Amino acid sequence: MAFTLPQLPYAFNALEPHIDALTMEIHSQRHHKAYVDNLNKAIDGHADLQKLDIASLLRNIKNVPEGIRQAVINNGGGHANHALFWEIMGPNGGGEPTGVIGDAIKAAFGDFAKMKDTVKANGGSQFGSGWSWVVYNPASGKLEAIKRPNQDSPLMDGLVPVLGVDVWEHAYYLKYQNKRPDYIDAWWNTVNWKAVEEKLAAAKAGK
């Protein structure tokens, strides 16, 4: 298999009370696994694509044969998006970011509160399923807040995601039902800012 399901870096209940254990188990072990399995099926027989890492595959999505391109967008994006999602959350998370990531947020948004408001507005206004992202734009050298539908990855647009909140209903419905804004508010308490800062450093380095 070209791609494998990553191991969750903490227990299913580690993000409680903000995200419940059952949601984390279903989300990571069923939904993410389905993306990985279906991505492998889509690129089966394409040795050139199987050699690529997920970021390279998505950055070069126009080079993927048209017959499997949408399957790679859906499932490759689902794999990449969730792999990052698990990494930038963790127990004892939250608080206000400081250091390099804090400075980058202030430079791009004015302050952390404004970034939170923008991310929440993007997530709340995303019709149907999708993600609210904070990405690094290599062209400007700054962070930007964007939203994308379904599992479309910012990597396909030359942007590098450093933080993202999943607003598909399966990410929150067991605990929050239709109250997506409440979920987004609670989700900030899970953010591992050290991991986000590491993502930013890698993005700036072109990794």
Identify the pLDDT of residue 1: 66
The encoded tokens of residue 150 equal: 């379904």
The whole-angstrom separation of Cα 57 and Cα 66 is 14
What does the mean pLDDT of the chain come to? 97
Tally Cβ neighbours within 10 Å of residue 56: 12
Q: Which among 27, 13, 7, 1 is positioned nearest to 170, based on CA atoms? A: 27
The whole-angstrom separation of Cα 75 and Cα 112 is 32
- At position 77, the amino acid (one-letter code) is G
Q: Are 128 and 149 in contact (CB under 8 A)?
A: yes
Kindly write down the DSSP assignment for every residue of 31-85, as one continuous string. IHHHHHHHHHHHTTT-HHHHTS-HHHHHHTGGGS-HHHHHHHHHHHHHHHHHHHH
Q: Where are the domains positioned within the chain? A: 21-87, 99-204
Q: Give the domain 21-87 fold.
A: Helix Hairpins (1.10.287)
Identify the pLDDT of residue 141: 96
The encoded tokens of residue 153 equal: 């990855």
Identify the pLDDT of residue 206: 87
Tally Cβ neighbours within 10 Å of residue 61: 18
Query: pTM for this one?
Result: 0.96
Please list, in sequence order, all residues whose beta carbon lies within 8 angstroms of the beta carbon of residue 166, skipping any fewer than 6 positions away: 27, 81, 82, 85, 131
Q: Give pLDDT tens digits along the chain (207 positions).
A: 689 999 999 999 999 999 999 999 999 999 999 999 999 999 999 999 999 999 999 999 999 999 999 999 999 999 999 999 999 999 999 999 999 999 999 999 999 999 999 999 999 999 999 999 999 999 999 999 999 999 999 999 999 999 999 999 999 999 999 999 999 999 999 999 999 999 999 999 987
CATH 3.55.40.20 fits 99-204, yes or no: yes
What are the φ/ψ torsions at residue 55 (nearest 5 degrees)? -65, -45
